[in-house]
Structure 1
Amino acid sequence: MATGTTYYLQLPYTYSLPLLVTSGTLHWLISQSIFLARISIYNDGVNSDQDDYSEVGYSCTPILCVVLLGTAMLVFALGMGCRKFASSMPVAGSCSVALAAACHPPKRDEDASFLPVRWGEVADASGEEDEVRHCSFTSGEVQAMTPGRLYAGSRQDVATPSDLRQLTKHPVVPLWASLRPRSISSSSARSTSDLINVGCNTSQPLYSLYDIMAKSTKDHWSAEKYSSAADFVPKLTTTVLSYLDVQPGDHILDIGCGDGQLTVQIAASASSGKVLGLDASQSFISTAQQKHNSQNCEFELHDCTHLAQYPDAVNGSWDKVFSNAALHWILRNPDTRVNVFRDAHKALKSGGKLVFEMGGKGNVAEVQAAFTAALMHAGLSIEAAREAKPWFFPSVEWMSTTLSEVGFEVEKCELEYRPTKCSAENADGSGGLVGWLRLMGAQFLEAVGEGKREAVLREVCEILETVVTREEDGSKWLGYTRLRAVARKQ
C-alpha cells in the first residue's frame, strides 16, 4: 500500500509571535533603507518645478540594521532547525495512516494549542479500554507507550501484523511497518491540526518505534518449543560460566533469562547471595516461576531493552550482570543498543563484572542469507527483507569500543566459531532445523502474509539443505559464532 500525505506546518505562539515582531521590524527597516526621494531646487527662495527630479535614496544606518537583524533571524531559524525535540517522537515521512497513528488528538482538547503539551498514549474519550490504542500531542495526561501494543488512527477490530498487509481501507497499522526511527527537530514538527506546541513539556521517557511495535501482540516464544529446537543452549555454557566465576555471596542480575534453566543453576552456586532473572517473554517467565523454586532466585517479566525502568535494577547493588544467548535479541533496536550497556554499568557495584555470551558477527550467516532470498522471492524488497532480521550480531571491535565508551574496562572480548548440531526433529515439527527456523526466524516469516509463510519456510530449508547437512550421517549443523565478553566497572 503506497500512500502520500501533505503536511501543514503551524508554529506555536512561543515562536510565531517573536518571529512576527522581528519580521515586521525587518520590513520597516528595509523601507527606511532604500527609498524614492524627490529633489526640489530653489533659486533665491523660488522653486522651479521644471528643475525638480526624483532619485533613489538610501540610508546607511537602516541598511546596517537590516543586515544585522536579518542575519540574527537566519541564525536563529537554522539553530532551531538543528535542535532536537526532547521526546524523540517518530516522524512519518510517507504514510498518512502512520501519521494518524502518531497524531490522534483526543476529543475535548480544543484548547491544546494555547497550552504546553506532551506526546504519548492518550486515553479514549469514552473511557473504554481498547486493544488498539492511540497516540498524540495533548495538554492532558499521557502514558508511556507499551511494547507489543497496536496503535492506530481510528477505533476498529484488532488485526495481526500479517492481516494488516491485506487491509486497504483505514487499516490498523503498526508504527514500525511504515516509519523509520529518527529524532524530530523543533522546526520540522508536523501536525494535522493546530495542536502541536513545540517547546513543550514532555512525558516519561518514550519508546522508539522498534520498542513500540517490534513485536506483535503475540509472544513469539514458547518454553516447550525452545527446549525442543534449542536444547543445546544451556548445555554449551561451560566457557561463559567459567568467566562468570560465581561466588557464594554474589548478587547477580540475569538479563534475558529465558526459561530459567541456567539462572537457577547459577543461583545454586550463589547459595548465600541473590539472583534475579528478567525476560520479556511471558511464556518463559511463567515456566521459570513454575519449574524453579529457589529462595535466592526470582524471575520477573521485563523488557531488558529498558533495564532502567525495572525497580532497583540499576541501583548499583549487583556484583555481576550476566546474559547468555539473549543480547543479540535485546540489542536489535539501534536506538536503545548502547543504553543497554549503560544501564548494565549503572546496575553494577564498583568493581562489578558484566559477563555475557551472544551471537557475534557472522552468526548463522547461511540462515540470514536464505531468509533474505526467500523473502525477496515472496515479493519483499531487499530493504524490507533485511529489516525483518530480528537479531544484531556485532563484531569484537564494535563491542569492545561500546563497552569502553560507557565506562567499562574490557578484560576479555572474543569471537569463537562453534558449529552447532540441530536437535532431533519431533513429530509435531517443534525440533530439528525446521523447528529452529520456525521459532528463531518467526519475525522473518511474519514479514509476509500467512498464506506465503510455509512456502518461504520450504524455500529456506531447500537452500540450507546442502549447506548445513553433513554427508556422513545426515545431521544438520548451523554456523554459530559466539561473542563473549568480560567487562569490569571501574
Structure 2
Amino acid sequence: MNSDSSGGGYTKARSMQHRDALLLLGQHLAWRDGDAVLDVGCGTGEIARHIADRKEVATVVGLDISKDMVNFATSKNTAEKASYHVLDIQDESGIREDWRGKFTKAVSFHTVHWIPNKERFLANVHMCLEKGGELLFNLFAGVPAIKVARDIKHHPKWREYLTDYALQLYEWPKGDVAGMSHLLEECGFEVVTCEVHTLTFKLDSLEKEKAFSRPLLGHLQYIPEEKQDDFLEDAISMARELYQKDEEGRVAWEMPQIVVHARKL
C-alpha cells in the first residue's frame, strides 16, 4: 500500500503520522494494568513498541497485511511484550482463537482508509475485543491531495506507466460522522466520540513534501526509479493548486479525517 516495501523509507515518511498517532493515544485512551492491545495496520512497528513500553500494558499484537512491514517491525521494533503477524483484518479465518475476546484495547492509525470493507474491519476487531474493550482509529475523509493521486494517472507524461495502476484507497465520505456512527452501532459498538479532525502540515522544503507524499503514491512502483523524483514533483505541483498558502508561501497541507473512539457493547 505504499511505495517503499522495505520498511526503512516508509518509517521516515511516516514521521508525521507517527506524531498524530501519539497525539490521539494521549487524547483518547487511559491505560490500565494488564491492558492487552491490538494494533491493526502496525506497519513498521513504532507505535506498537511505544505502547508495549508502557508499564501498564501486558501485551501488544501488531497486525499488517504486508509481510515486508511485519519483517521490518520484528527486526527493528522488537519488544518483550510485542509480537507482529501478517494478516488482512478483513479475513476472519486468519484470526487466531487465542485472539478472540482477548484484547482490552484496539488501535488503528492511518490504516482504515486502505481497507475497502469497513464493516468487516469493525466486525473482526469487535470479535477480538473483550466486552467493554475500546477501539481507537482514524481514517481520511475528503483529503484534497487524494484527488491528485487519482488524477495523475491520466497525466500525459505518466499515463503510459500507470495503465495497470488502480488507487486502492477508500476514504470515508467527507464529514460523514453520522454514517460512521451508524456503522459502528450496527457492528456492536457504543460510540464514545466520532469527530472530524483536520491535520495541517506546513513543510519547508520540496524534499519534505516528497517524503510526505510517498505513502499516498503507490504509483511509484510503476514509475522507473530514475523518473520518480520528476513524478513526485509533478504530483506536488498539482496538489499545491488545491491548497491555501501562508504568508511565507508555504502550502498548508490539510488532511481531514474521522477520528473514532468506541467501546464494545
- The answer, yes or no, to whether TM exceeds 0.5 is yes
Extract unaligned runs of 5+ from structure 2. none
Query: Which residue of 234, 243, 247 corresponds with 2:32?
Result: 247
Indicate the SS of the match to 2:16: coil
Is contact 2:45–2:77 with CA below 8 Å preserved after alignment?
yes
> 2:142 maps to which residue?
362
Is contact 1:322–1:355 with CA below 8 Å preserved after alignment?
yes
Change (3 A) 1:254 1:308: farther
- 2:119 aligned partner, one-letter code: V
Change (3 A) 1:287 1:465: same
Change (3 A) 1:282 1:219: farther
> 1:44 maps to which residue?
none
CA distance in 1, matches of 2:204, 2:89: 28
- 1:373 Cα shift? 3.1
Change (3 A) 1:371 1:239: closer
> 2:239 maps to which residue?
464
Is 1:486 paired with 2:253?
Answer: no
CA distance in 1, matches of 2:232, 2:98: 39
Is 1:351 paired with 2:132?
Answer: yes
Q: Normalized per residue, which structure has more strand?
A: 2
TM-score by length of 1: 0.47
Extract unaligned runs of 5+ from structure 1. 1-214, 426-430
Change (3 A) 1:253 1:269: same
Larger radius of gyration: 1
Aligned length: 257
Greater RCO (Cα-Cα under 8 Å, separation 6 or more): 2
CA distance in 2, matches of 1:339, 1:347: 12
- What is the CA RMSD across the aligned residues, in angstroms? 3.1
> 1:228 maps to which residue?
12
Indicate the SS of the match to 1:461: helix
- 1:293 Cα shift? 3.2
> 2:153 maps to which residue?
375
Change (3 A) 1:402 1:287: same
Change (3 A) 1:300 1:424: farther
Deviations 1:81-107 (A, max 9, x none): xxxxxxxxxxxxxxxxxxxxxxxxxxx
> 1:297 maps to which residue?
82
Change (3 A) 1:230 1:242: same
Q: What fraction of aligned residue pairs are identical, expressed as a percent?
A: 23
> 1:279 maps to which residue?
64
- 1:447 Cα shift? 7.0
Farther off after superposition, 307-316 or 249-258: 307-316
CA distance in 2, matches of 1:421, 1:297: 34
Deviations 1:30-74 (A, max 9, x none): xxxxxxxxxxxxxxxxxxxxxxxxxxxxxxxxxxxxxxxxxxxxx
Deviations 1:158-201 (A, max 9, x none): xxxxxxxxxxxxxxxxxxxxxxxxxxxxxxxxxxxxxxxxxxxx
- 2:51 aligned partner, one-letter code: I
TM-score by length of 2: 0.82
